[in-house]
Amino acid sequence: MAPLNQKQEIKVYNSLSGSKETFKPLLEGNVGMYVCGPTVYSNVHLGNVRTFMSFDMIFRYLKHLGYKVRYVRNITDAGHLTDDADEGEDKIAKKARLEQIEPMEVVQQYTIDFHTILQKFNCLPPSIEPTATGHIIEQIEIIKEIIDNGFAYEKNGSVYFDVLKFNESHDYGKLSGRNLEDMIANTRELTAQSEKKNAQDFALWKKAEPQHIMRWPSPWGDGFPGWHLECTAMSTKYLGEQFDIHGGGMDLKFPHHECEIAQSEASNGKNPVNYWLHANMLTLNGKKMSKSDGNNIFPAQIFTGDSPFLTKGFSPSVARFFVMQAHYRSVLDFSNDALLASEKGFNRLMEAVNLLEALPTSEKSSIDVEIWKQSCYDAMNDDFNSPILIAQLFEAAKFIHQIKDSKAAITQTDLEDFKTTIKAFVFDVLGLEDVNAAAEANTDKLNGAIELLIQLRKEARANKDFATSDQIRDQLLELGIQLKDGREGTTYTLS
């Protein structure tokens, strides 16, 4: 990664205040960031990936500036119910029932899928990736605190957060901009059998019915934790009662994140997060991509092109470039045409990057590299504006072509700075990969390894160790590498 650059001042759009604020971490030089992870009951679609890519870009930029970032992103492996609130079946248990496998088999399968996909898109792993089921004890402790503070009540083995009581002394709705009176006016009356005092209350702990397989003992009997509580428990445990950044998709702002704030304030009295960052949705045909209604496209389809929405396949880097060309807070609509355009742009950028190594230098530079460089930082400092950064990189690409055609000039010192900056932003910050360069590097490695084997075979033959020399030749042949002995030495062909 590039040198320390913390002098850059970042402004982030904080959903809590509804404005751009200067980013100041609690502990200088350190950043604590929590991002809600996936509920691992199905394959991630490109919409989910967009959100994780956006926070990966933010993580990468903070690291690039030299911050020591602890990035926590959880895995939700229990407690997320099918209605995204307090009713229905656990999403993972439901999948396990339908497939007739163990819930933890569901979790394993989709966690592996999630990791594989994010790795393909060159997302860095988080510093800690805790699971909800690994933090049941922490969740129970928080519930006890909330009950002791008078903000939750137990009913028939379940525990509910008392939203109305909380709102008497706190502000429930401050993140999502909702007003509790309006919420009450807009909700249906509770049914007679409801255990909740008010429709706005939400579950911290749910009693497990006999058929519910994912269950844990608690002071209130066997049950399972509420979805909102998981994130409070895991963020508090690894980042403290107050931390810098909390991220997630826009759709999680209410109720999930609103409830996280309420839970922290009701248990330890502290507003947990300084900056709430929300990534906007990826849409398909103008509608949010979503797991539940089938309006989605999966990464595997992008790579192969096997989808009615696509005319061909695209590399993960092109898809990542497509995502980075939009600001993370803007809605982005997916289409074949948009991907084709991104592919063109991506190739143009990579072509320019590859020209950098062989550029001629002069006595004078025809642009001010320092000013251009700062404009890249300015873009990212302005709420991580990756599309503006990309526009600056295209300016650089134009300049590179001009230098190559002797229509512009650059000094040796400026070229070094220019190269380092372009590569830092393209590869370290945007997380793009030059697919061709990677393939070439692998070919170089393969050629080197074959040359080494040829040398070892030659030595074996010189020692009359024909068993070893034949083994090298035969096994290479099995791998599709044919050695040919000639007067000039041994050559090879790859089939």
Contacts of 390 (CB under 8 A, 6+ apart): 321, 324, 325, 345, 349, 430
Give yes or no for a contact between 184 and 210, defined as CB atoms under 8 angstroms apart. Answer: no
User: Which listed option, Zn ion, ligand AMP, none, makes contact with residue 231 (CB within 5 to 8 Å by class)?
Assistant: Zn ion
Minimum CB separation of residue 329 from ligand AMP in Å reads: 11
- In this structure, what token pair is assigned to residue 244? 């810098």
**Spatial distance between the Cα atoms of 405 and 317, rounded to a whole number of angstroms:** 28
x/- contact string, 439-478, with ligand AMP (CB under 6 A)? ----------------------------------------
Determine if 74 is a binding residue for ligand AMP (CB under 6 A): no
**How many other C-beta atoms are found inside a 10 Å radius of the C-beta of residue 489?**
9
Cβ-based nearer residue to ligand AMP, 48 or 232: 48
Cβ-based nearer residue to Zn ion, 252 or 379: 252
x/- contact string, 288-307, with ligand AMP (CB under 6 A)? xxxx----------------
Stretch that binds ligand AMP, among 182-190, 283-291, 399-407, 476-484 (CB under 6 A): 283-291
Amino acid code (one letter) for 441:
A
Burial of 418 (0-12, 13-18, 19+ CB in 10 A): buried
Minimum CB separation of residue 230 from Zn ion in Å reads: 7
Cβ-based nearer residue to ligand AMP, 38 or 173: 38
**Spatial distance between the Cα atoms of 215 and 201, rounded to a whole number of angstroms:** 22
Cβ-based nearer residue to Zn ion, 272 or 431: 272
Stretch that binds ligand AMP, among 42-50, 102-110, 337-345, 350-358 (CB under 6 A): 42-50
Contacts of 117 (CB under 8 A, 6+ apart): 43, 44, 49, 299
Minimum CB separation of residue 131 from Zn ion in Å reads: 13
8-state DSSP, 283: E
User: Which listed option, Zn ion, ligand AMP, none, makes contact with residue 39 (CB within 5 to 8 Å by class)?
Assistant: ligand AMP
Minimum CB separation of residue 252 from ligand AMP in Å reads: 5
Minimum CB separation of residue 111 from ligand AMP in Å reads: 12
Amino acid code (one letter) for 172:
Y
Determine if 252 is a binding residue for ligand AMP (CB under 6 A): yes
**Spatial distance between the Cα atoms of 112 and 107, rounded to a whole number of angstroms:** 8
> Can you say which residues are annotated as belonging to the binding site for Zn(2+)?
36, 231, 256, 260
User: Which listed option, ligand AMP, Zn ion, none, makes contact with residue 281 (CB within 5 to 8 Å by class)?
Assistant: ligand AMP
Determine if 36 is a binding residue for Zn ion (CB under 5 A): yes
**Spatial distance between the Cα atoms of 80 and 446, rounded to a whole number of angstroms:** 47
x/- contact string, 223-252, with Zn ion (CB under 5 A)? --------x---------------------
User: Which listed option, ligand AMP, Zn ion, none, makes contact with residue 126 (CB within 5 to 8 Å by class)?
Assistant: none
Identify the CA nearest to 260 among candidates 285, 281, 280, 230.
Answer: 230
User: Which listed option, Zn ion, ligand AMP, none, makes contact with residue 51 (CB within 5 to 8 Å by class)?
Assistant: ligand AMP
Identify the CA nearest to 230 among candidates 214, 212, 209, 211.
Answer: 214
Please give the distance of CA 179 from its chain centroid, rounded to a whole number.
Answer: 31
Helices (H) and strands (E) in the chain — how many of each?
A: 16, 15
- b vs e for 354-384, b when ≥16 Cβ sit within 10 Å of the residue's Cβ? eebeebeebeebebebeebbeebbebbbbbb
- In this structure, what token pair is assigned to residue 296? 């989605």
> Can you say which residues are annotated as belonging to the binding site?
36, 231, 256, 260, 291
Determine if 51 is a binding residue for ligand AMP (CB under 6 A): yes
Determine if 282 is a binding residue for ligand AMP (CB under 6 A): yes
Give yes or no for a contact between 227 and 79, defined as CB atoms under 8 angstroms apart. Answer: yes
User: Which listed option, ligand AMP, Zn ion, none, makes contact with residue 345 (CB within 5 to 8 Å by class)?
Assistant: none
Determine if 255 is a binding residue for ligand AMP (CB under 6 A): no
Give yes or no for a contact between 183 and 173, defined as CB atoms under 8 angstroms apart. Answer: yes
**Spatial distance between the Cα atoms of 210 and 141, rounded to a whole number of angstroms:** 24
Residues that bind ligand AMP (CB under 6 A): 36, 38-39, 47-48, 50-51, 248-249, 251-252, 281-282, 288-291
Residues that bind Zn ion (CB under 5 A): 36, 231
